Amino acid sequence: MHVAGNSSVRNLLIFVLLAVFSLPVSAVVYKYRDNEGRIYLSDKPVQGNYKLISRYSIKGGLKKVKPGRIDLQAWQKNRKRYAPLIESVARESLIRPELLHAMVHAESAYDPKAESRKGAVGLMQLMPATAKRYGVTDRYNPEQNLRAGASYLKDLLEQFDFDLKLAVAAYNAGENAVIRAGNQIPNYPETQAYVEKVLRFYKQNRESNS
């Protein structure tokens, strides 16, 4: 379900209430703003050039959902804990372990409980649609999360003729965004910074293993 409206507070509250009454008790309402300032409400996270303003849960009453969380302080401990699994999944997926490590580092800082403001969760920050596509039943399960994320990355590498930058950009912004950009990195500051970060981590990992 998607509901569009203008940016006035009064109308926005009406839209939220309408969304609340049409959703199950445990649903979450996502509020987005597009480039032209229009407000959209949805019961599912959406990808594309939208800015997530806030999320509201209707479980136990209408409550604003806290922004994304990630445990940056424990990244080294978590890296050590999940390194064997990451490297095993990488080998099974025919992906260099240094690359999968770089992706996990950039996505979640190795926090298996990481949550983004857009609704992505886990080590590889899986969105609900991606998790469903790869048969994930529990996005917070580290092994399921890693296997799905690695499979998605491998598919993107194949789709973009093993152009690492494009595959990484597509993981962040979606393959359609890369295609719309003429098979170039989309002109999204977040995606461009993300690609640079992953490639930097990847280079560091390869140098440390050489």
By annotation, the residues acting in catalysis are: 107
Where do we find the tokens 């569009």?
A: 4
Beta bridge partners of 115: 69, 121
CB-based contact 26:59 (threshold 8 Å): yes
Sign of dihedral through CA atoms 190, 159, 202, 138? Answer: positive
Q: What is the strand order of the sheet 28-33 is part of?
A: 2-5, 39-42, 28-33, 51-57, 63-65
CB-based contact 209:102 (threshold 8 Å): no
- Other C-beta atoms lying within 10 Å of the C-beta of residue 179: 15
